[in-house]
Structure 1
Amino acid sequence: MKSLVILLFLISFLLNLHKINCLLKLSLESSNENVKWTLENRNKSINIPGSVPGGVYTDLQNAGIIGDILSGYNDVLTRWVAYDTWTYTSKFNVSANNLNSAVAKLVLEGVDTVAYIELNGIPIGLTKNMFVRYVFDVKTYLKEGENKLTFNFESPIDYAKNRSRQHFAAPECVPDVYNGECHVNQIRKMQASFSWDWGPAFPSVGIWRNVRLEFFNGAVIRSITTHTEKKDTIWFLTVKVYLDTSNNIRNISGYLSVYLSVEGHSTIKIGKNVDTQTNSDGTFDVELEMNISENMIREWWPNGYGSQYLYNLLVFFTTHGDRSDREISHKHVKIGFRTIEIVEQKASLILGNDTLAGQGLTFYFKVNGHPLFMKGSNWIPSNVLPEINENDKIRIDNLLTAARDTHMAMLRVWGGGVYESDYFYRRCDELGILIWQDFMFACAMYPVDPEFLDNVRAEIQHNVLRLQHHPSIAVWAGNNENEVALRGNWYSTQAQFDKYKAEYIRLYVDNIKPIVESIDPTRRYLISSPSNGRKSEEDGYIAKNPYDPHFGDTHYYNYLADNWNLNIYPQTRFASEYGFQSLPSLKTMKTATNKTSDYRIDSDYFKHRQHSPNGYSFIESQINRHLKLNKDDPKYFEKFVYYSQISQAMSIKAETEFYRQSQADWYTMGALYWQLNDVWQAPSWSGIEYGGKWKMLHYFAKSFFAPVLVSPRLTLTENVDVYLINDRIVAIINANITVEMFKWNSFTPIKSQSYLANAKPLSSEKQFTIDLWDADKKDEIFLRFALQADGVISSPQNYIFPVPLKNAKGLRTPNIKLDVSETTAVCGNGTSFTVNLNVDTIVPFLWLEANSIDGHFHDNGFIITEPKTKVHFCTKEKINAQQLKRGITYKYYEN
């Protein structure tokens, strides 16, 4: 922080001492009280205040014209909005002093999506990509005094349909159960805004990111890229600065200086005189290099492996000329020093054999020289409306800290959403969350006509330039599932396979790949996810089997097998997607409907909310494999919701632990489950509900992603293989794993035994195999596993249930008593309470609810095996212990 203060002081000092002019910015956002926006539809029957940044659905809600878009059936009842055309208009004043500048630019950071723009009644440009920054030279169109800026938006549905008639690419439409719209692959906007299997269709329009006017005489810094490389004890930092001036300025001269804060409150400065010809569009770039001793910085590490040291980097460009004519532009970013690569080498070199596992190539991330198992999830937009997704910092913070707090080191920003906000990536830098960054192409073939390719090239260039400097960016991926979709004939493309393959290569290889590798040559660009990585490329980019477990990453979904059983999962080098559905809690559902008649699985409302074909049947099937649920039970629906979350949590736990165990014998090196978050109150694969409430899955993630974990596997021969997983960079030596056998009706184990355990750093190792002991009474017992090791502060207990719980004998109805006391534990800006639980028997999956109290339990979904248990609760509400006690309810599994 002190270094940043020094650098900011430097800016002020330079400007004041040398009387250097700074580029003038005029915000055209709604926060500027001198700028007013209006929104009008095609026939002018609607004329309301508009918001910028914003969007049409938000503005219509604010004006009371439509209700809560996520309530009831409003996703289809408000679809008329997307079929209409809309106009945003603003009026603002420009001074004579502004107009004295040689250059005036209108800068649009994000427009969703197809808009025809007029300034004072004169057309100045067209936008057709919501992911691109548009910059228009408007010097000749502005006038002193009042000016009028107009955005005429075309219906995204009509635009996509019209393009499809000329440039069709499969598929034509999403499945009917999605309640969505067609031809989304024709328009460069959030693909999920036309609907997905986890979300509703809201084909938005609006100015969803910042908009401003810039007035200057020289040049403005638009982007900064940084490349770090370490050789021996020296870090080599290359800073490339991308600048923009007027199309009419053919030569620019000035001085570029770079200041880097380092350890010891010191600053390193380098500079360079610039005298260069600009490109035809008025852009140019300048590169500088800096050598830094390793003693002057500390490395940036992913969450769980070290600290996240970030250093302020300030860049100035000052034009040459008389002191009164000099002008300065500056930009500030934070950078981290770390090395990262994806290692694809012969697996036999790692596994030491040429058996089935040793065939093929590895696929793992090496960070700062260490091979790290990537634990995490997949990120979809935090809101279905892009302007809210972009600007709701509290929601972003809550989701990212929830990922951090469950030991996640990587999130995959999925290719059907958006390139997230600068704030999102900055928080990932600060929290140590690496980002697998998809480009925004998902589950479709895409056209390759010249207009579309030009559009895509601008998108890729802009976003790689914008995001490249973030240490959290780990890898770029061209698309989500399009390679496997083509090879697997998902969209009936087999008859035209050669055509679609050629188009696939033209888009992702011939056009996108060179742009990415020219801007960011040190990071890996994967053509698709899933893919066989380097092997897919060697095989012509469309592998015969993109799911080959010997290469690359895989996506795996199986709703038919017993997903609590670790033995049903296939091997993979890296699991970048896998998941199971559950329903959100009743508390979350009630924010969308209060109709009692809706709370049935077979109600029209719940059929409407389920976008996955046969989704409820799959959930029910998984529940019935392990849990007893009677359809005649008066609480059937409530239990179905609760049991769906148990089933999801246990299934993801099993699959994740299988992948973590498989580091030992297959060198599986990543587990990113689908999905972290939600966009509405509906069945989905998420671990966190819309609104931020944690499902049981997310609580379980704290355990199954724990840095040190005893992980048992019940084998097909009814033995138990016991693994010790160690994600730390230090070994575990002479530890003890205790295995205890319990009956379901007693806290006292009927058998206990300890085993010596050791684990190398960053490893998974099978420690021993035991039989199930009293296998003839396996319906009466379960096993508990615990670790005691010097230097290991905590390691969660783990369990084996030999038979489905519905067949377990001895489960009794518990007597549960709870008391609450306030504590002094750290709880952000809130108040911390301890909830003391007392029970008289084993309680499986005890689930606590605080109901109307807005807060968060630190743990939940317990397997209670002791008479007394404590759990912390944190809330920002001003309540006392008795209020919390009255507000807590609970549920548990019962046969």
Structure 2
Amino acid sequence: MKSLIVLVLFLYTILINEIYCLYEQSLDSTSKKVIWTLENKNKSISIPGSVPGGVYTDLRNAGIIGDILSGYNDVLTRWVSYDTWTYTGKFNVSSDNLKYATAKLILEGVDTVAFIELNGSPVGSTKNMFVRYIFDVKEHLKVGENELKFIFESPTEYAKARSRRYFTAPECVPDVYNGECHANQIRKMQASFSWDWGPAFPSVGIWRSARLEFFNGAVIRSITTHTEKKDSTWFLKVKVYLETGEHIRHIKGYLSVYLSLEGHQTIKIGKYVDTKIKDEGTVEVELDMNISKNVIREWWPNGYGSQSLYNLLIFFTTYENWSDREISYKHVKIGFRTLELVEQEASLILGNDTAAGKGLSFYFKVNGYPIFMKGSNWIPSNVLPEIGEKDTKRIDNLLVAARDTHMAMLRVWGGGVYESDYFYRRCDELGILVWQDFLFACSMYPADPEFLENVKAEIEYNVLRLQHHPSIAVWAGNNENEVALRGNWYSTQSQFEKYKKEYIKLYVDTIKPIVEGIDPGRRYLVSSPSNGRKSEQDGYIAKNPYDPNYGDTHYYNYLADNWDQNIYPQTRFASEYGFQSLPSIKTMRTSTNNTSDYKVDSDYSKHRQHSPNGYNNIEIQMRRHLKLDIDDPKYFEKFVFYSQISQAMSMKAETEFYRQSQVDWYTMGALYWQLNDIWQAPSWSGIEYGGKWKMLHYFAKSFFAPVLVSPRMTLTSEVNVYLINDRFVPIIDANITVEMFNWTSFVPIKTQSYPASADPLSSKKQFTIDLWDAHKKDEIFLRFTLNAEGVVSSPNNYIFPVPLRNTKGLRKPKVQISVLKEDSKMGKEFTVNIKVDAITLFLWLEADSIDGKFDDNGLIITKPHTSVTFITSENIEPETLQNAISYQYYEN
């Protein structure tokens, strides 16, 4: 397959070199042919600039400011966002370049409001961070040195000025965010004005690449692909969007498409193009392919099959005669899969004699199978978009971490950015479906003509850019704006009808037809959470957007006992839920080395906690279950550690509740909040800023396991035991062993085995037990183990009948650790042997001085000997690792 594609490219490369072809000239700093400078308004600062880049990055590189994520620098550097900044680039253009009929300036991303001059003449302006801007600049270019200038308006001042004209609630974020106001007025990463988990850095800059294009005919600007399967045939529709120069009104050429398939086969189709150009200088051409299913392997989400991708090459050859031919081409990889968001009468699945059978289902069917979506929510990987865009290693680490914990879906949250092409390509390759929010979050938004026109360009561009990715599962109009309006979050009730009208104008009248026109094969949800089809039937603002019988829900409750599965509400699909914890001391040290900051009530800790009442909410949960003495000399260290225990156990309880509820409520998704972090601060994340896994992410490997025994203790102290099977094959003739332990011994005091079975892709309640009559609940706990033919691994699970702080018999263990080196294709791999003399809870291993990761952590140890694996890229001896390992555990 690869050899044929390489051959096609090689032949076309020869052809391109022999004919008059289009020419591109990079304007990025990395080309070394462009010199960029950055100046503020009064020119007191004049330093080298970078493209792609941003003002905070360039100021730090020049030594004007320090590490923006250190200490209080999010506030101390805020002056940057109030100033006016100018980027000036100088580059050369040859006489040969100017022989082309068309010269265009291509800006893949400008953040955000800028006026652009070329050689002193205005060429255009930008006002949307998420749009690719294209300007005809032929008349402004000259032979020799040229000067391109971007004069950026302060984003905070721009937003403030627009708010005076088109005020839209809310005016400001809560004071505890230490943020900026009116983010809803500017089409910029909303979180750059701050959020409850992140700082405000309202940057400016050219955050994606810039280039000049010279050509005579037309270029391929975008493509979309639509696949449909009927019987034994796949139907592929390729739509190619061509663009010409402003003086070209007619185009002639040949469009050819090559698709690689299984068995080293390639299909080629083509079409002659001879057509007039639209007023905006574009033309669209469609081509169709019919492909036998025998030469296609379906693309599957992570955990359900392979991620087969196929090279698709599109060439457009413009010609008037042989000597005037030029070629534009585009290469993407596509996958073949069917995906449907099924919203049908729930009674068809659950019957109509219970509350669960009322309403509509809400689940994703992939390649004909209903898939329970396990996953999380993605926020930007960096508060500075130009760094998040370029840091492919960080993107890789986060996505692989999601893959390795059995996640099949990530929700790209609506307050961030449309991620890089690299991000979506890696999701394609790793089998991670993407629930893609459009970038409107936690706010009402304006609906004036200027704003709507700005949004139209944004939606069209990004749907065209991302549509071909098999990982894109669904589009959603916004994050929490329907429920915010209905719930009067921003005191809008007195103007409800006004805001409802503007809501519909933006998300329904403006965005919806664009999405459905470009990508009719995917579902567009107006909001998340919402009641889905029911919200639409109710006029788009449901009376109760959290109705458990419809759509998706977001659920947060910091006051109830979060370790208790009985507190959680039923839902068809849980697209957000979570609990906070603190980052590790190791991660905190990258922000402050001041030991006085390492206190819950320090000014630094208060500054970093953006969630109202955040530390109190963490402490409430911790103290329900864990014993923590405020006079303990290691109080803060334990507070950090115990907060991660509490978060992990709470998320385990809620996630397993949703997975269990597949059987009686047809809950079909659990996407917890949130996967990653944007700085070193308390948050809901499972992975800290810098990539260190919290206990939550390790626990996700178990609570998202494909096969899981999942017990739930009821309010009457019975234990219902479920078997969850996310595989395509049934579990039959299995056994679930229930062992009762006294806290003082590794030997169970009672063991009983129960038969078990489960259908494919199901959750099933197996049995109910009541073992408390003869035993005191504060002296015992239960361990659940599955033994089933064909099940390679299924994690143990546990029930702790009373809060751990109230248990009797749990004693301080002696822990001994030894390390052995193993050969591994994965790199340097070590076996870490652990010996304990007592039941040990949440044993947490650290090797902070070594770059590596344990394959399991936060261990519940119920036997004398346990081992885990440590993998590192460093060339070290076992003794070095053994000496570097430290540990913590829970102690009463």
User: What is the TM-score when the length of structure 2 is the normalising length?
Assistant: 0.99
CA 109–5 in structure 1, closer or farther in 2 if over 3 Å, else same: farther
Residue 509 of structure 2 corresponds to: 510
Residue 625 of structure 2 corresponds to: 626
* TM-aligned CA deviation for residue 12 of structure 1: 2.9
Match of 1:862 among 845, 859, 871: 859
Matches within 5 A, 1:374-393: 374-393=373-392
Match of 2:886 among 857, 868, 889: 889
Matches within 5 A, 1:364-375: 364-375=363-374
1:718–1:772 CA contact under 8 A, matched in 2: no
One-letter amino acid of the counterpart of residue 82, structure 2: Y
CA 352–20 in structure 1, closer or farther in 2 if over 3 Å, else same: farther
State the alpha-carbon separation in 2 of the partners of residues 870 and 324 from structure 1. 70
Structure 1 residues 766-822: Cα deviation after superposition (integer angstroms, max 9, x where no partner): 000000345641101000001011111000000000000000111111111010011
1:260–1:267 CA contact under 8 A, matched in 2: yes
Residue 332 of structure 1 corresponds to: 331
* TM-aligned CA deviation for residue 6 of structure 1: 2.3
Residue 741 of structure 2 corresponds to: 742
Alignment gaps of 5+ in structure 1? none
- Aligned: 1:78 with 2:89: no
State the alpha-carbon separation in 2 of the partners of residues 21 and 873 from structure 1. 56
Match of 1:874 among 871, 874, 892: 871
State the alpha-carbon separation in 2 of the partners of residues 478 and 109 from structure 1. 23
Residue 9 of structure 2 corresponds to: 11
State the alpha-carbon separation in 1 of the partners of residues 771 and 612 from structure 2. 39
Matches within 5 A, 1:697-712: 697-712=696-711
One-letter amino acid of the counterpart of residue 843, structure 1: T
One-letter amino acid of the counterpart of residue 833, structure 2: N
CA 17–246 in structure 1, closer or farther in 2 if over 3 Å, else same: closer
- Aligned: 1:457 with 2:447: no
One-letter amino acid of the counterpart of residue 720, structure 2: D
- Secondary structure, counterpart of 1:619 in structure 2: helix
User: What is the TM-score when the length of structure 1 is the normalising length?
Assistant: 0.99
* TM-aligned CA deviation for residue 243 of structure 1: 1.1
State the alpha-carbon separation in 2 of the partners of residues 291 and 340 from structure 1. 19
- Aligned: 1:651 with 2:682: no
Structure 1 residues 357-416: Cα deviation after superposition (integer angstroms, max 9, x where no partner): 100000000000000000000000000000011110000000000000000000000000
State the alpha-carbon separation in 2 of the partners of residues 137 and 710 from structure 1. 62
State the alpha-carbon separation in 1 of the partners of residues 116 and 7 from structure 2. 39
Deviates more, 1:579-588 or 1:20-29: 20-29
- Secondary structure, counterpart of 1:381 in structure 2: coil
1:240–1:285 CA contact under 8 A, matched in 2: yes
Residue 427 of structure 1 corresponds to: 426
Residue 805 of structure 1 corresponds to: 804
State the alpha-carbon separation in 1 of the partners of residues 757 and 696 from structure 2. 29
- Secondary structure, counterpart of 2:527 in structure 1: coil
Residue 232 of structure 2 corresponds to: 233
Residue 596 of structure 2 corresponds to: 597
CA 5–25 in structure 1, closer or farther in 2 if over 3 Å, else same: farther
1:29–1:52 CA contact under 8 A, matched in 2: yes
One-letter amino acid of the counterpart of residue 867, structure 2: K
One-letter amino acid of the counterpart of residue 32, structure 2: E
Structure 1 residues 613-642: Cα deviation after superposition (integer angstroms, max 9, x where no partner): 000000000000000001011110000000
* TM-aligned CA deviation for residue 247 of structure 1: 1.6
- Secondary structure, counterpart of 1:357 in structure 2: helix
1:246–1:281 CA contact under 8 A, matched in 2: no
- Secondary structure, counterpart of 1:512 in structure 2: helix
State the alpha-carbon separation in 1 of the partners of residues 567 and 203 from structure 2. 42
Match of 2:842 among 842, 845, 860: 845
Residue 355 of structure 1 corresponds to: 354
1:833–1:874 CA contact under 8 A, matched in 2: yes
* TM-aligned CA deviation for residue 354 of structure 1: 2.9
One-letter amino acid of the counterpart of residue 499, structure 1: K
State the alpha-carbon separation in 2 of the partners of residues 97 and 775 from structure 1. 93
* TM-aligned CA deviation for residue 878 of structure 1: 2.0
Residue 757 of structure 2 corresponds to: 758
- Secondary structure, counterpart of 1:65 in structure 2: coil
Matches within 5 A, 1:563-574: 563-574=562-573
Residue 832 of structure 1 corresponds to: 829
State the alpha-carbon separation in 1 of the partners of residues 531 and 376 from structure 2. 20
- Secondary structure, counterpart of 2:251 in structure 1: strand
CA 5–159 in structure 1, closer or farther in 2 if over 3 Å, else same: farther
One-letter amino acid of the counterpart of residue 12, structure 1: F
State the alpha-carbon separation in 1 of the partners of residues 785 and 252 from structure 2. 67
1:14–1:20 CA contact under 8 A, matched in 2: no
State the alpha-carbon separation in 2 of the partners of residues 732 and 539 from structure 1. 42
Matches within 5 A, 1:451-530: 451-530=450-529
Residue 134 of structure 1 corresponds to: 133
* TM-aligned CA deviation for residue 22 of structure 1: 3.0
One-letter amino acid of the counterpart of residue 21, structure 1: Y
Structure 1 residues 116-142: Cα deviation after superposition (integer angstroms, max 9, x where no partner): 000001010000000000000001000
State the alpha-carbon separation in 2 of the partners of residues 301 and 98 from structure 1. 46
Matches within 5 A, 1:654-669: 654-669=653-668
Structure 1 residues 519-547: Cα deviation after superposition (integer angstroms, max 9, x where no partner): 00000000000000000000000000000
State the alpha-carbon separation in 1 of the partners of residues 249 and 118 from structure 2. 26
One-letter amino acid of the counterpart of residue 156, structure 1: P
* TM-aligned CA deviation for residue 872 of structure 1: 0.4
- Secondary structure, counterpart of 2:31 in structure 1: coil
**Matched positions, count:** 891
Residue 293 of structure 1 corresponds to: 292
State the alpha-carbon separation in 1 of the partners of residues 309 and 615 from structure 2. 46
Matches within 5 A, 1:86-125: 86-125=85-124
State the alpha-carbon separation in 2 of the partners of residues 381 and 457 from structure 1. 23
* TM-aligned CA deviation for residue 278 of structure 1: 1.1
- Secondary structure, counterpart of 1:872 in structure 2: strand
State the alpha-carbon separation in 2 of the partners of residues 693 and 607 from structure 1. 23
Deviates more, 1:69-78 or 1:11-20: 11-20
State the alpha-carbon separation in 2 of the partners of residues 252 and 381 from structure 1. 41
Structure 1 residues 703-731: Cα deviation after superposition (integer angstroms, max 9, x where no partner): 00000000000011111000000000111
1:15–1:21 CA contact under 8 A, matched in 2: no
Residue 167 of structure 2 corresponds to: 168
One-letter amino acid of the counterpart of residue 754, structure 2: Y
One-letter amino acid of the counterpart of residue 885, structure 1: Q
The percent identity for this pair of structures is: 77
Deviates more, 1:460-469 or 1:738-747: 738-747
* TM-aligned CA deviation for residue 4 of structure 1: 3.5
State the alpha-carbon separation in 1 of the partners of residues 62 and 202 from structure 2. 19
* TM-aligned CA deviation for residue 283 of structure 1: 1.1
- Secondary structure, counterpart of 2:665 in structure 1: coil
One-letter amino acid of the counterpart of residue 396, structure 1: I
Residue 308 of structure 1 corresponds to: 307
One-letter amino acid of the counterpart of residue 8, structure 2: L
- Secondary structure, counterpart of 1:892 in structure 2: strand
